[in-house]
Amino acid sequence: MNTQAWILLAAFFGVLSLLAWPLGKWLVAVADGRLPRWMAPFEACERVLYRLAGVDASAGMGWRQYAIALVVFNFLGLIAVYALQRLQRLQGVLPLNPAGMAGVSADSSFNTAISFVSNTNWQGYGGEATMSYLTQMLALAVQNFFSAATGIVVVIALVRGFVARSSASIGNFWVDITRVTGYVLLPLSLVFAVFLVSQGVIQNFSPYKDVTTLEVNAYQQPKSGPDGQPLKDATGNPVMECGRRYERAEF
């Protein structure tokens, strides 16, 4: 690792250490439902969501109910991520596919769906060359929130179980997943998004563009003779020559 990498690592741990205490306190407040008064409008919206979904926010769940709700929620997420990748081929029906990308293969779709729902986010595909904007937004980005929220609420439920011991309830999964997503992950993402925009990171819905940058990479390559075959020196090693390549980037 070079000096820049060590500085970046130190900065990461520094920021993480500074945020650990306030974020920990905020997570406890969110898990306990102790939100500040100025967030009353958000809590009102939260209650509307529960009514629309038919969820009784005041009803506690035992560990079996909690686990079943968690598995069902993530299974539906897996189906959604898989289906969006496969249906990408409906270019005339689904929007936000300016490059006209075809549907992702069944094995790759399943692998990606399992990966993102389980929060491992292993990518076995070629980034912008495989997924449409719609698939990235509704499938992958959504699971970046829900899979992370699932991990957090599991820890919250586990802590409640240890603390309560004899209690028959470890909370309500639907309430926990809603609050962690809405009051923790979304605000953090908004702040980080503003930071990225300030650094020049862009996002638009235009078709991809190939851009030749000013950066030039020099490299060594075997020199070919008139017959197109690599030349060799007296010892039998290939004769090398310098080459230059201009980097291309997609936007």
Angle value at C-alpha 115, between 122 and 177, nearest 5 degrees: 125
User: Do residues 104 and 136 touch, judged by C-beta distance below 8 A?
Assistant: no
User: Do residues 114 and 143 touch, judged by C-beta distance below 8 A?
Assistant: no
pTM above 0.75, yes or no: yes
Q: Which residue stretches of the chain are H helix?
A: 3-32, 40-53, 63-86, 106-117, 133-135, 142-164, 173-180, 186-198
The whole-number pLDDT of residue 50 equals 94
The 10s digit of each residue's pLDDT in 206-246 is: 887 776 666 666 667 777 766 666 778 878 788 887 765 54
The whole-number pLDDT of residue 68 equals 96
Give the mean pLDDT per block of 10 residues along the chain (251 residues).
88 92 93 91 92 91 94 96 91 84 89 92 79 91 95 94 79 95 95 90 80 66 70 81 57 49
